Amino acid sequence: MVNPETPALATAVHTQIVAVTVYSDKALVTRRGMVSLTGQERELVITSLPMTLETDTVRVSGKGTVGVQLLGVSSKSIYTTEPVAERVAQLTRQIQQLETEKRHLQAQIDALALQSSFMAGLREKIEEPFAQSLARRNLSLSETLDFLNFLGSQYSEYAIASGECKTQQQQLDQQLQVLRASLQKIQTPHTQESLSLVIAIASAGGGEFELEMSYIVQRASWTPLYDLRVNSTSNIVYLSYLAEVTQSTGEDWTDIALCLSTAKPGLGTLPPQLPPWYIDTPSPPMVRKFAARVMSQPAPDANWPEQDAIPEASFIPAETVVSEVSQTGSVVTFQLNGGGNIPSDGAPHKTTIFQDDYSCSFNYVAIPRLVSFAYLQANVKNSSDGATLLPGKANIFRDDVFVGTTELSNIAPGQEFQLNLGIDESLKIERELIERQVDKRLISNQRRTTYGYRLMITNLINQEINLKLTEQLPVSRNEQIKVRLTRSSPQIQVGEMGLLAWELTIPATGKREIAYQFSVEHPPELTVVGLDI
């Protein structure tokens, strides 16, 4: 197709986007277009390309019924004024239509006010005769009630109808305000900048030629997003692997083959971590530093409203379109079978990559010194023949209840990973200081203070569970202060930074007790700080 405004040796080619591959921070766009050559053309021109295009990434190829040599590619910026006449006419029509609707509503309000005024006048005129008839018992009680009900219903109907009309007027005013602002904005001409590509060619003669070109654009990206639904009764994790695609490249992607690639051209549901529990002697006043220990507190569970039950037989389950997954080395590619419509609006657009079930096992984690709850964790293994799960945000649901979000790291096929499912009240944990005793006599010129704790864990469900329970001893920063674990049940070894970690099995609806005792020894003249029990 030859544009009559283009010189004879140059032909404008109308191209369309047919495929896009999105990377983490850019995208590869592929365009195609047909052109009828006469044999006289020396240049093919493609116009209205976005300014986000990286000109050094442009690649061209083609095929056709005539031999064509592609000699080179150059680019130039084009400045145009956006045509606004059609848009102005459209907005003007919309404004006029809304103003007409507003006038009709005002006419209804006026009519209702007239009817209400008439009823008020009628009431005043018949009020005295009606009272006299009632006094003479010319009217029955039922007739009196009927008349009062009639007056009340009429006033109510007029008031409701008038209120609805005024509400609609307010909504129309809001729409008119937006339309008038848009009209004022576009009536000011805006200069737009775009790119044109000029492809130098040598043609062997006339014929049809299909041109294909590709280029990289900025302002496009995609990130993984997951929905993880855990069924605690069947030990199944249902994973929905989603992609959130965002682009503001300056050109819309409509009905294209969309591909996502991993190539590169904190956590509310986590149980809190125990910080080291230090004890020491006071520092000299001039160099004293005050240390603050910050304890993480679990966020309260959100109260989500229950949904009314709907019979499953009443609906046909929706089918989710998923993608084809391929992997070459460390690069994973998702060829989407749907979702090929991404406008250049900068908004996130979600599409499903795939969905799958994963078997899992559960265990509990508890840190009673910080919180009196247990945290549920699921141990999951990615399928050995499955796709790599890329780092991304995951929404976690347990038994259809949202429990929070987490971040998944890169998970390779066959790799195990752990999901933190938040607080589970199926375990009741009670922690009690049962002993605090200072020896009255010195032992080897040392003062000894003994502390004892007892913990009772109650399993409230009819199922055996595994629990990792962590306590801690204070850690001395002064060589004259000695901390020793003197007794524990079950037996336990002190870990790094004074941590005590028990791996327990709690029988169904059963209980387990843990007890431990430790001592702190120091010279009697030494004051110990930080030993707040």
Q: How does pLDDT run across 413-455, given as a tens digit for each residue?
A: 889 998 888 888 889 999 999 999 988 777 778 889 999 999 9
On average, the pLDDT of the chain sits at 82
pLDDT at 476: 92
Local confidence band at 191 (pLDDT 50, 70, 90 cut-offs): low
pLDDT tens profile 249-289? 999 999 999 999 887 773 345 677 788 877 777 765 533 33
Q: Which amino acid is it at 43? A: E
Dihedrals phi, psi of 207, to nearest 5 degrees: 160, 180
Cα–Cα separations (whole angstroms), residue 14 to 7, 196, 208, 335: 16, 12, 14, 26
Is 484:533 a contact under the CB 8 Å cutoff? no
Classify the C-alpha dihedral 145-146-149-151 as positive or negative. Answer: negative
Instruction: Report the helix count and the strand count for the chain, using DSSP H and E.
Output: 2, 26
Local confidence band at 383 (pLDDT 50, 70, 90 cut-offs): confident
- Give me 232's structure tokens: 């605690």
pLDDT tops 70 at residue 514: yes
pLDDT tops 70 at residue 135: no
The reported pTM is: 0.56
pLDDT at 508: 92
Judged by DSSP in three states, 64 sits in: strand
Between the two ends of the chain, the Cα-to-Cα distance in Å is 86
CA 311 to chain CA centroid, Å, is 29
Task: Residue 362: name the closest of 225, 461, 457, 456 by CA.
Answer: 461
Strands (E), 40-137: 43-49, 53-64, 68-81
Burial class (CB in 10 A: 0-12, 13-18, 19+), 228: buried
Local confidence band at 309 (pLDDT 50, 70, 90 cut-offs): very low
